[in-house]
Amino acid sequence: MQKLPTRISGSTLSYMVKTSIKVAGMTCQHCVNSVTEEVSGLSGVISVNIDLASGNVEIESESDLATADLESAVQEAGYEVVSE
């Protein structure tokens, strides 16, 4: 898991955290939608971008996300977070 605090100038948001995780088991757009939906439901999440081929999930949020929350959201969708 990687967290990159980023300052966005000219935006209403002055601070944003980017978190990258890797998720195993996604095979199609339906899987991508399920994970996107669950992770988007976490408090503070602004956007979720998933690369199906690599399993990479990039999350932008207003505040730090707890690893346990991310893992349980992914599990809720039926998949597993893997360490890279």
Smallest separation, CB 52 to Cu ion (Å): 9
Q: Of 16 and 79, which CB lies nearer to Cu ion in the complex structure?
A: 79
| Contact between residue 55 and residue 23 where contact means Cβ atoms under 8 Å apart | yes
> How many angstroms separate the Cα of 78 from the Cα of each of 41, 57, 59, 63?
15, 15, 18, 25
Least distance between Cu ion and beta carbon 61 (Å): 25
Name the site residues for Cu ion (rule: CB under 5 A).
Answer: 27-28, 30-31
Min separation Cβ 46 and Cu ion, Å: 24
